[in-house]
Amino acid sequence: MRIVGARLEHADSHTLERFLATGGNNALRKALLEMTPEAVAAEVLTANLLGRGGAGFEAGRKWGMLRKAKRRYLVVNGDESEPATFKDHLLVERDPHQLVEGATIAAYAIGASLAVIYLRGEFALGLERVQEAINDAYRIGALGRDIFGSGFSVDIVLQPGAGAYICGEETALLESLEGNRGFPRIKPPYFPAVIGLYGDPTIVNNVETVSNLPWIVENGGEAFKSLGSGRSTGTRLFALSGQVNRPGVYEVEMTKITFRDLIFGEEFGQGLAPSRSLTAFIPGGASSPWFFPEHLDLPLGQDEVAKAGSMLGSGSVIVMDDSSCPVRSAWRIARFFARESCGQCTPCREGGTWIDRIMERIERGNGREEDLDLLLDLCDNISPGVVWPPAQTTICVLGPSIPPAISAAISRFRDDFLLHIKEGRCPHA
């Protein structure tokens, strides 16, 4: 079952011709000419479309929280930078018109005064493709003044980022969009739907979330909800990477396949290299707690994964086999967060930096046995109790994203850590 990825089987899926030949803008016409904004929002609420960016908040509920001020904005979050996440990258390069159609539908539903698509700056080709799609949309009357003669008008502006992971956090993204450093805003207010861009109510939705809207409008919220099960409705793009034979982006109906299917299945990852065995996998991007072989039979569903102590997050599954060093993997993840910390909060800025340094010294063979307790103590200072979901001492969740990898590695691979320390080198090198 393909929804957001339906067009990707065509090599020219990014062109206006292919878009229009495969039902492009049918949903936009339907929404604008046959439905009220409230009716569109109601379908999205019925669909129970969970945000595809990482937090998994219901898009329909988020829209419902929008303060009904005179000026409101829609911002599409395309700042995809969570390690191992590459599904939005695919969508913006391969189906940019669907994104523009979805954004225009969202703008109509929430009554946006202006819509902005914020794309990660490094996505040079994506920026070209999306700009082309925006230009095309203006040319054919699908954007701008009086779209398709419906009386609805809106503009979309494409905004490039400039290389900062933290700008994926929605309030940091808004700061960046206002021309500032990407500092997450202090909460409350918890939601940009109350106070967002330029202080006005703003809806921030992820690229994949928005790309689902045309299908939902065309087929109805009930049809979307009939796919998947429980709170996990519809399909989702899973980005599979690491030590697996066929890494890639796979669209699957939610909850219908397991991690084992995704990693080992013939139509998906096709397993590991010969004679290798799985030691761990990360189910939802670098900030989610690690899973192990005993978790392979969990279904790919939001609540199922949460109940098992992790998160589906950005839908990125990272596979590690027994040739890899778990200390090194945990260190690399910690180093990423340390480097990307915006520096506002002490626990994240200092804690992340020290964890990076201590992990590096263990991996390089200069660690001490007491480093393990020191690491856990640092984790506890960033996120008290080192529990899941994480407690927070910081403005945003970047800092609390460090402890899961460290604590998982230490509790599961303690012997590996001790071997590094005893032998004075990485046993996997």
Residues 340-399 that bind other proteins (CB under 8 A): 340, 342
Binding test (CB under 8 A) with other proteins, winner from 4, 99, 100, 127: 127
Q: Site residues for other proteins, window 3-32 (CB under 8 A)?
A: none
Give the contact letters, 34-73, x = binds to other proteins (CB under 8 A), - = no: --x---------------------------------xx--
Q: Does 145 bind other proteins (CB under 8 A)?
A: yes
Binding test (CB under 8 A) with other proteins, winner from 328, 338, 398, 409: 328
Q: Site residues for other proteins, window 67-106 (CB under 8 A)?
A: 70-71, 80-86, 88-89
- The residue (of 280 and 386) whose beta carbon lies closer to other proteins is 280
- The residue (of 88 and 261) whose beta carbon lies closer to other proteins is 88
Binding test (CB under 8 A) with other proteins, winner from 144, 189, 220, 384: 144
- The least CB distance from residue 418 to other proteins, in Å, is 22
247 contacts 240 by C-beta, under 8 angstroms? yes
Give the contact letters, 200-239, x = binds to other proteins (CB under 8 A), - = no: ---------------------------------------x
Q: Does 165 bind other proteins (CB under 8 A)?
A: yes
Give the contact letters, 289-318, x = binds to other proteins (CB under 8 A), - = no: ---------------------------x-x
